[in-house]
Amino acid sequence: MRTRRFQRFAVDLPVTLVQFWEETPVAKARGRCHVLAEGGLGATVAHDLYIGEVVRLEVPRLAAVYASVRDVRGHRYGFQFLCMDDHQRRAIHRYCDALAAESEEKPQARN
């Protein structure tokens, strides 16, 4: 059984993705972040991306971060955060801590 390094949280946040290419203009796309963890996020973006591509992700209430595309399923993408500084890491950690506290406060469903 594989365990994850970071806990994942279901969210619904807007995300702006910025692509940087050497010979073409900067491309921006908007989408929705649906999963967040301290190491990355999952989002739906109506834009073609490729495994290994590096983009900047801008999510409200979080610092903008660079990320690598790690998973592609249609227009659902998994991103791994890259090269975060202390400010970015703390902002994401605080937000995930708040999500964890919020999920602990919700009553557990009984079977």
Three-class SS string for the chain? Answer: CCCCCCCCEEEEEEEEEEECCCCCCCEEEEEEEEEEECCEEEEEECCCCCCCCEEEEECCCCCCEEEEEEEEECCEEEEEEECCCHHHHHHHHHHHHHHHHHHHHCCCCCC
pLDDT band for position 63 (cuts 50, 70, 90):
confident
Q: Give the model confidence (pLDDT) of 14-30 as tens digits.
A: 999 999 877 776 889 99
Q: Which CATH class is domain 9-105?
A: mainly beta
pLDDT band for position 111 (cuts 50, 70, 90):
very low
pLDDT band for position 70 (cuts 50, 70, 90):
very high
Is 60 exceeded by the pLDDT of residue 109?
A: no
